Amino acid sequence: MGKNKLQKFAENETFDLLFQPSLEEVWQKDFHMKGRWNTDFFKNSNPIVLELGCGKGEYTINLAKMNPHVNYIGVDIKGARLWKGAKEATLLPLPNVAFIRTRIDNIASFFSPQEVSEIWITFPDPQPRSSKAKKRLTSSRFLGYYQKFIKENAPIHLKTDSQPLHEYTKALVEQNQLKLINCTTDLYNSNITHPSLGIKTFYENMFLEQGLPITYISFQLETTKELKEPEFE
């Protein structure tokens, strides 16, 4: 492991806004902040919005700057990536930002029912093989995790360069008769306009430079509906 990465890991331990529980702390058990994010960390009653697979935290940081009366929590498993977002949020500072280092599989261990008001998923691993469909962050499996803590009919946003992941997610929404909010296969040549959608991460800029269109889909998630996988290859 490189010296620079080790230095980042060491500095991560000093950030009060970065939570890094061990697997033993969250595997099939509740994290100590579950149900207490607003009272014990943010010290307010503002809505909580998650960014899953947040990488360096660019989207989380910029959303927090745009909306100071909303609390944002970025989640990723890579500590070296989270270091950048945690450091920037600490230095600015941004009191409405936190980060969690964990696998998304364990996300339900961190939040109580209806504790989260919205979820953003930005440029996740598309898991293109059909055998890996259950690992997609918009699969019925993962949406089932989100149902445990999200508010009823809360919006889920997916922004990605992957056309197959976009089409899969659209098929899942249709299969389960979820309410579609917005859907486009070319965001920046569509009539969908919102400041939150104008945020561009390092990876998004890279995809745009390659001439790849950016897709976007948002939909409401019903918390009590049993979700099924779409017939999609």
Q: Residue 1: its pLDDT value, please? A: 59
Q: Domain ranges in the chain?
A: 1-116, 118-233
Each residue's pLDDT tens digit, 34-56: 999 999 999 999 999 999 999 99
CB 47, CB 37: distance < 8 Å: no
Structure tokens at 55: 């990488």
pTM for the model stands at 0.96
Each residue's pLDDT tens digit, 149-180: 999 999 999 999 999 999 999 999 999 999 99
Torsion region of 24: left, alpha or beta (phi above 0 gives left; psi -120 to 50 gives alpha): alpha
Distances (CA, A) of 105 to 23, 52, 53, 137: 11, 11, 11, 9
Which CATH number is 1-116's, of 3.30.70.20, 1.10.8.80, 3.40.50.150, 3.30.1520.10?
3.40.50.150
Decide if 1-116 and 118-233 have a common fold. Answer: yes
Catalytic sites, residue numbers: 125
Determine the topology of domain 118-233 in CATH. Answer: Rossmann fold (3.40.50)
φ, ψ at 68 (rounded to 5°): -65, -15
Residue with tokens 């058990």: 29
Residue 141 parent element (H or E)? helix 140-147
φ, ψ at 133 (rounded to 5°): -55, -35
